[in-house]
């Protein structure tokens, strides 16, 4: 196992306030299942359909959409494809509508029961990723956090970053970030897409500092926005690449595989 040198550098303020409790530098050839549950919301689909395509090389995780990859949940999410991993899972009994992140379709029912898993589900802290986005016609890459949703209102999302491939250019990109309220009555919708002068297809650092009543978002350790609200319950990480065919963005325009490259993911908690 080879440890990368100087692969990350949390800013000085974070290092003074927090201690590292979760880290993955992808130094092994296999995904660390002590860190990651290697499926995407399998309760609405199945572990077989929701398993990611990925490999690890040179201490980078490569999540991929391949040319022959099938949709992860055709019953409820149409032709959307994804390769995504997460740090927990929670769902109700077979046939119920109880489960994490079912907002994309009100008809969602549990089609495969899951044992509850909580690998990394912090309540407050600082989360950082170093990654490369994709320039493409129909792909989205992102790191987001969702409420563990063991109670329906514990359902909000903190989007650390989201990049749509059709909004990526040589010297600028639209970056999404913020909070989605979903079923949390204590929060307000506060999601943003803004243009930043950077090449998103090269490595950049995206981060969130999540405290009681406050959420701060960073790119390359520079504060980009502070929100005076925050979810107040455990959340899990969701890391993935998606393919979303539309009339404007067809799946045949770009060469395969589509690769989302991740250098590291870190999680800190306050001292």
Q: What is the mean pLDDT of the chain?
A: 93
Task: Write the pLDDT tens digit of every residue in 50-95.
Answer: 999 999 999 999 999 999 999 999 999 999 999 999 999 999 999 9
What is the band of 13 on the pLDDT scale with cuts at 50, 70, 90?
low
List CB contacts of 74: < 8 A, sequence separation 6 or more: none
Euclidean distance between CA atoms 143 and 206, whole angstroms: 9
Compute how many other C-beta atoms are within 10 angstroms of the C-beta atom of residue 137: 18
pLDDT for 251 beyond 90? no
pLDDT in tens, 186-221: 999 999 999 999 999 999 999 999 999 999 999 999
- Write the burial class of residue 249 (CB in 10 Å: 0-12 exposed, 13-18 middle, 19+ buried): middle
pLDDT tens digit sequence for 102-126: 999 999 999 999 999 999 999 999 9
User: Which of 30-44, 143-157, 177-191, 240-254 shows the lowest mean pLDDT across its residues?
Assistant: 240-254
The pLDDT value recorded for residue 5 is: 38
Say what the pLDDT of residue 271 is.
79
Measured CA to CA in angstroms, residue 197 lies from 39, 109, 171, 222 at distances of: 33, 42, 6, 13
Q: Is the pLDDT of residue 224 over 60?
A: yes
Q: Is the CB of residue 83 less than 8 Å from the CB of residue 54?
A: yes
Distance CA 100, CA 265 (A): 22
Between 245 and 145, whose confidence is greater?
145
Pairing mode of beta strands 222-227, 157-164: unpaired
Instruction: Dig out the tokens for 189 from the structure.
Output: 């919708």
42: pLDDT confidence band, cut at 50, 70 and 90? very high
For residue 119, the model assigns a pLDDT of 98
pLDDT for 16: 79
Tokens of 223: 């504060």
List the one residue out of 18, 6, 2, 4 whose CA is nearest residue 207: 18
Q: What is the pTM assigned to this prediction?
A: 0.93
pLDDT recorded at residue 78: 95
For 171-182, what is each residue's pLDDT tens digit? 999 999 999 999
Report in angstroms the alpha-carbon separations of 223 from 11, 110, 196, 254: 11, 39, 13, 34
Which structure tokens are listed for 45? 């689909």
State how far the alpha carbon of 249 is from the alpha carbons of 28, 104, 167, 245, in Å.
Answer: 35, 19, 12, 6
Report the range of poorest mean pLDDT among 6-10, 33-37, 54-58, 161-165: 6-10
pLDDT at 7 over 60: no
The residues, ordered by sequence, that sit 6+ positions from 16 with a Cβ below 8 Å of its Cβ are none
> What CA–CA distance (Å, rounded) separates 88 from 206?
21
pLDDT of res. 69: 97
Task: State the residue for tokens 């359909």.
Answer: 49
Reported confidence tier of residue 4, pLDDT bands at 50, 70, 90: very low
pLDDT of residue 1: 37
Domains of the chain and any CATH numbers: 35-261 (2.60.120.200)
Asked if 154 and 184 touch (Cβ cutoff 8 Å), the reply is: yes
């Amino acid at each position: 196992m080879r440890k990368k040198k100087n692969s990350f550098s949390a800013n000085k303020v974070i290092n003074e306030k927090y201690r590292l409790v979760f880290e993955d530098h992808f130094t092994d050839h296999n995904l660390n299942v002590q860190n990651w549950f290697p499926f995407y919301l399998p309760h609405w689909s199945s572990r077989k359909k929701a398993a990611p395509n990925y490999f690890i090389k040179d201490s980078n995780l490569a999540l991929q959409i391949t040319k022959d990859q099938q949709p992860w949940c055709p019953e409820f999410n149409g032709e959307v494809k994804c390769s995504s991993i997460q740090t927990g899972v929670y769902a109700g009994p077979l046939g119920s509508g109880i489960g994490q992140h079912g907002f994309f379709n009100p008809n969602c029912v549990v089609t495969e029961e899951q044992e509850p898993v909580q690998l990394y589900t912090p309540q407050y802290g600082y989360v950082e990723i170093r990654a490369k986005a994709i320039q493409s016609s129909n792909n989205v890459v992102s790191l987001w956090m969702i409420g563990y949703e063991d109670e329906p209102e514990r359902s909000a999302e903190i989007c650390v970053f989201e990049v749509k491939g059709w909004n990526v250019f040589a010297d600028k990109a639209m970056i999404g970030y913020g909070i989605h309220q979903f079923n949390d009555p204590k929060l307000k919708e506060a999601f943003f897409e803004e243009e930043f002068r950077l090449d998103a297809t090269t490595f950049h650092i995206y981060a969130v500092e999540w405290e009681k009543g406050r959420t701060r978002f960073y790119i390359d350790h520079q504060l980009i926005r502070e929100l005076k609200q925050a979810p107040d319950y455990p959340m899990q990480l969701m890391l993935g690449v998606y393919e979303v065919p539309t009339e404007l963005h067809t799946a045949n325009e770009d060469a395969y595989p589509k690769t989302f490259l991740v250098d590291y993911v870190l999680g800190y908690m306050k001292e």
